Chain A
């Protein structure tokens, strides 16, 4: 899974779930698109679906500080690497 794959998936989620088309990478999602904590929960569940594994409580809590698209992509990349490393 490349960083570009992750970005494409996140953009797809934003369009499908939040009706936000092509969000900019570095804008504050809350300020620009009214992205709230319930949206963050939906996003987490979509990320679980994308990764094919459940997130731990700590991983979920970590995500609650995310503010931008770039941070979301970094977060998913980190999770994917973590799972890849765990698989050996």
Chain B
């Protein structure tokens, strides 16, 4: 038994090397060589890099699907069809943002400052127009500039995906919300599309760099609600929208749990 487990670990380790190898080589070589023509030939270089990200991540998941056949993907077509949307998601794994990038050719998000400090990767993210959540970027005039560019991005058909919990859930439950997500949607005068993600933590759990390849798993992404708040209403309140969003996610989790009581949420 220990012998089999040893070989399973070796197998997982090799898969990890292949997948993260592809991921990094993509950034280092493929994107680097494609970036220069994009930068020179296109008017909107951020948009072009977003498309390159999208293609790169699409291939990454294609490769993941081939190498880890026990994990299947069930993506709601309504999610794929979203455009000019603020997409609010629960957060389970580092795979969540990557999966979202693989679905949308034009996408942006707000991410932790630490990701921008990663060599090459951080530089590409900045060039793609992604926004750092660091205080220097999300205060004062810099924040107004970022919000205005997000507004323009949404008007041009791009999506903004956000994780109001700010960090990955360790037990599948919804953590405390940062209401800034809702303020940004309001600033852009855009509705909210709530997308529920399941199963990414089973494939790539928090706290591990190995993919779990042996377990049968289905990664799902489902549009569970679309909220169109009346921002101009006299009694409009960000807190009400944040609470409503939270309730919808909690109800979804309860429904999933009720349908399959043995499932670890």
Contact = CB atoms under 8 A, between A and B. Distances in A.
Interface of A: 16-17, 19, 37-38, 41-42, 45, 49, 57, 60-61, 64-65
A2 B187 CA distance: 27
B239 A38 contact: no
B238 interface: yes
A38 to B, nearest CB: 4
A41 B187 contact: yes
Contact of A38 (B144, B148, B183, B237): B183
Given A16-B237, A17-B237, A49-B232, A41 B183 contact: yes
A-B interface, 4 closest residue pairs, ranked by CB to CB distance from nearest: A38-B180, A37-B139, A61-B141, A64-B140
Interface in B214-265: 231-232, 234-235, 237-239
Contacts of B141: 61, 64
Given A19-B239, A42-B186, A45-B186, 10 more contacts: A16-B235, A16-B237, A17-B237, A17-B238, A37-B140, A38-B183, A41-B143, A41-B147, A61-B141, A64-B141
Contacts of B232: 49
Chain A binding surface, main DSSP class: helix
Contact of A45 (B139, B148, B180, B231): B231
Interface residues of B, number: 21
Most B CB atoms within 10 A — which of A17, A38, A65? A38
A17 B238 CA distance: 7
B112 interface: no
A64 B239 contact: no
A64 B237 contact: no
Interface in B154-180: 179-180
A42 B183 contact: yes
A55 to B, nearest CB: 10
B171 to A, nearest CB: 27
Contacts of A38: 138, 179-180, 183
A54 to B, nearest CB: 10
Nearest to B147: A41
A45 B140 contact: no
Contacts of A17: 237-239
Contacts of A49: 232, 234
A78 B252 CA distance: 47
Interface string B180-209: 100110110000000000000000000000
